[in-house]
Amino acid sequence: MRRLRNVKIVATLGPASDTYEMIRSLTEAGANVFRLNMSHGEHGEIRERHAMIRKVEKDLGRPIAILADLQGPKLRVGKFAEDSYDLEVGAKFRLDLDDADGDMTRVQLPHPEIFAALEVGSNLLVNDGKIRLQVEDCGKDFANCVVTVGGTISNRKGVNVPDVVLPLAALSEKDLKDLEFVCDLGVDWLALSFVQRPEDVIQARELAKGRAFVLSKIEKPSAVKDFDEILKVSDGIMVARGDLGVELPVHAVPPIQKRLVRKCRAAAKPVIVATQMLESMIESPMPTRAEVSDVATAIYEGADAIMLSAESAAGDFPIEAVTTMNNVAIEVENDPVYRDVMDASRAGRKETIADAIVSAAREIAETTDVKAIVCYSESGTTAALTARERPHVPIVAMTSRPGTARKLCLYWGMHCVVTGEVGRFKTAVVNAARAARTCGFATEADNIVVTAGVPFNVPGSTNILRVAPCDERLIFNTDPE
């Protein structure tokens, strides 16, 4: 029987992966979701990449999800009179609103919102945390600081403020334009940067108006603190370890990653582990052993997806990077310890009929010789609940909605099939058996579990579980209309 890996691979597109041939090769190597980074590229380029993905999807005959990653507000210092200056530990350094060129004693920080939120003792991190400043005195238009970690400062370097919640919306003016553009274009997921509070996510959802699902990037300490509330209003989560590792001690990131992955699984919402997973493969055809271990750890934790950034967008070996992730995933998921971990970490309260049905489907699959669970899911909710169970057998999601099929490409273990609308349960079982056979998960001699809802094509109506043969003659002879 055919057995594909369960964890999904998200590949970022960029200059190194900007052709139909490369996107198709990445898909065939194992990419399930393509990320469009709105920090780079004009709308025309984004439109072309979107069209190429959809052509690959059509030519290969399987759904592909598209994730548009919004840039978020970028906080940066101004310009300097010289190219750069070295700041030594203990030196005084001032940030202010004056647009005059900076020097080794001061520079512009053109963000009055930051000054409004700062307090004495607050820390500012410059250039990905390579320079650390501590506030000694501040006002509405300045902050006098002492250098606690020295380094070289230069034009337009980024600034992080980990200690305070900034009075800034997660969506900048650029983000608002980009959001409308990609929603009209037809992306499936929106990744929201700079999330600090649940209200940031609610705003994005209201603007998306159901045209795309909203995934919150967890990259700030305030988002970690309010994660439970953010998760409630999000359709999915990305553990963005890059900025998270700048604003928090790096040793705090691994346990945070583990906690967030578990909470997402309990909530039946997909979680991506991202940033620097195979960083060395930007320039090398082989990863480091530490990188392979990092990818494996995310898979063992039960992440729905793992992500490539510069490795596939700008690296020299994008196909090799996807292939490496694919191979690591297959190896991990064939390890008996992986199945032990998935079973031991199963969580989530059973509160609805759908909860009970998907749980029963998984238990039947574990105790009998069932080859696959086939679930009819119009909105994707029942399929998501099935993925939360982390069953031992493949999950086939049947839906009449292409948008739902694409959305589900981000979920663990999901194999999506777009089918016509069905009106009779017998027809649904026949279609499920055909899908299981076509996907290579079963033969006519095998059985499958089918979950569905009557009446059909109504989201949230899952109320039937059927153990069915894959031999259509037996279905016609035994199943009710």
Catalytic residues, by residue number, are 35, 76, 217, 275
Quickly count helices (H) and strands (E) in the chain.
Answer: 18, 21
Cα dihedral angle (115, 121, 124, 125), rounded to 10 degrees? -170
Q: Are 433 and 470 in contact (CB under 8 A)?
A: yes
Q: Determine if the peptide bond prior to 112 is cis (ω within 30°).
A: no
3-state secondary structure of 59: helix
* Token pair recorded at residue 36: 């469009």
Strand partners, 395: 373, 414
- Closest by CA position to 195, among listed 220, 161, 231: 220
Could you give the CA distance from residue 159 to residue 163 in angstroms, rounded to a whole number? 12
Cα dihedral angle (375, 377, 381, 383), rounded to 10 degrees? 30
HSE-up (13 A, CA, CB side) for residue 86: 1
Q: Are 201 and 195 in contact (CB under 8 A)?
A: yes
Could you give the CA distance from residue 306 to residue 379 in angstroms, rounded to a whole number? 24
Which residues fall within 8 angstroms of residue 117, CB to CB, at 6 or more apart? Answer: 161, 164, 165, 166, 167
Q: Give the containing element (helix H, strand E) for 93.
A: strand 92-96
Task: Count the Cβ atoms, other than its own, within 10 Å of residue 327.
Answer: 15
Q: Are 345 and 312 in contact (CB under 8 A)?
A: no
Could you give the CA distance from residue 430 to residue 417 in angstroms, rounded to a whole number? 14
Q: Are 287 and 278 in contact (CB under 8 A)?
A: yes
Q: Check residue 415 and report its DSSP letter.
A: E
Could you give the CA distance from residue 444 to residue 473 in angstroms, rounded to a whole number? 10
